[in-house]
Amino acid sequence: MPVAIEIEARDDEARAGILRTPHGAVPTPTFMPVGTKGTVKGLTPGDLRSVGTGIVLGNTYHLYLRPGVDLVQKAGGLRGFTSWEGPMLTDSGGYQVFSLAHRRKISEEGVRFSSVYDGSSHFFTPELTTKVQEVLGADIAMVLDECPPANASREYHADSLLRTARWAKRCKETHSREDQALFGIVQGGLHPDLRKESLERTVELNFPGYAVGGLSVGEPREEMLQMLSLVASRLPADKPRYFMGIGDPVGILQVIALGVDMFDCVLPTRLARHGTALTNDGRINLKNAPYRRDLRPLDPECSCEACKGYSRAYLSHLVRENELLAHRLVTLHNVHFTSELCGRARAAIVEGRYREFIEAWILRYAGGRPLDVAR
């Protein structure tokens, strides 16, 4: 297989491993920064390497619309176009299409949608999104799935998971790139029996890796963790497990505890653009008055460029003046912080003390307020 995982240690359900790809090995658990339009906003590939990023995510929906796959293909694929030389994953674009309910219409064949850029009409099929991802050339591609809203009815989720399973089969039948792995996606909402059915239908297709989708979309955290626990424990133990769309530090540690190897989210970079930094003692909003004269680093325990070279007061000034440097430095810090957190989680798993680690870490992050951790 072009992509495989070697599990080196387990602590209860938590796993520490190595994700092997054609463009390098990635220690797991690992956070994938989101490069929606071919860039992790504000950071160069060199920046990403400097903060320990192992794998980057690209978005098929946006890249298909702009700049278009023909240009990316001429540039040597997404890796050549962006100058990121390491491992990459592309989503199918399904989440973006289905999140824009007023712009799309679903049929058995695929989904018709209007571009968010110019209103032009497009039609995504499982076959098209698979071929587009083959052209983009990431190490991991995703099947086209339907991601229903959290408040969708049980009947809708039941119909949707069957459609997703049929689309997954069509994606696999279309996929032909030997140096790229195609992952399946489990859906089913917050219904245990539907989750089990979706899992069985997806695993039956024997993908080289599996994602859990349709969670972290607005449902209560406890319900999300219950569904993830049910699914992750039943996924093949010898294949990568990817939770789609989680990026808050507490959530990251909770899904790792349930056996997830990979995850992605725009949260660390989006928070940075709004002046919020992640620290071991919780989030800090640099727009707030206390930080205007605070000459300490963002996080005294962090070794990133922003923390080694600049004070909270200076970064607060940059944020309040809307300087571009603020976006870069706080983004750099948040991505480094998230990557380092995964490294600390990995070390705790290897040492057999993961439960102790997350309980202490979350208690500190929450300012001494006990929070539930994954059971």
Catalytic residues: 91, 264
Rounded Cα distance between 242 and 184, Å, is 10
Question: Cβ contacts of residue 203 below 8 Å, gap of 6+?
Answer: 184, 210, 235, 236
Q: How large is the angle between the packed helices 249-257 and 354-365, nearest 10 degrees?
A: 160
The answer to whether the beta carbons of residues 236 and 353 sit under 8 Å apart is: no
3-state secondary structure of 186: strand
Contacts of residue 191, defined as CB under 8 A and 6 or more positions apart, other chains included, come to: 154, 157, 158
Q: Would you give the distance in Å from CA 13 to the centre of its chain?
A: 20
114 φ, ψ to 5°? Answer: -100, 135
- Tell which residue, 144, 133, 29, 151, has the closest CA to residue 88: 133
Backbone angles phi, psi at 139, to 5 degrees: -65, -30
SS3 (DSSP) at 91? strand
315 CB neighbour count, 10 Å cutoff: 26
Q: Which of 172, 163, 243 is nearest to 205 (CA)?
A: 172
